Amino acid sequence: MMILAPFLASVILGSLILLMTWWLKKRNFSLFVRTIPSILTVISAIISFYIGFVIINGFNGAFYGILSFFLIGFAIISFVMAKKFEAK
């Protein structure tokens, strides 16, 4: 049960990030602009992991660790989507 809440939060945030990347790709922005959502997601995931591991600690900080793990996955998908696929 503990893994479901951070997973749901990361799925909601990740869906918004993928939607934003898709929208930027559809509007034919440059590669740098299309990769901004994935870069910001990686930065926020690193910060949230740091908060969970160093500041909060223990069982309560595991939420942030799990959240950041899944957000990194969505950031990778967003980066590949922005870089690989062309807008039609």
Cα–Cα dist 4/52, whole Å: 17
Q: Which residues contact 84 (CB under 8 A, 6 or more apart)?
A: none
Band of pLDDT at residue 44, cut at 50, 70 and 90: very high
The amino acid occupying position 15 is S
Q: What does pLDDT average to over the chain? A: 90
% pLDDT > 70, the chain: 94
Band of pLDDT at residue 2, cut at 50, 70 and 90: confident
Contact present, 74 and 18 (Cβ < 8 Å): yes
Residue 62's Cβ-side half-sphere holds a number of Cα atoms within 13 Å equal to: 8
**pTM score of the predicted model:** 0.87
Helices marked H in the chain — which ranges? 4-26, 31-50, 58-84
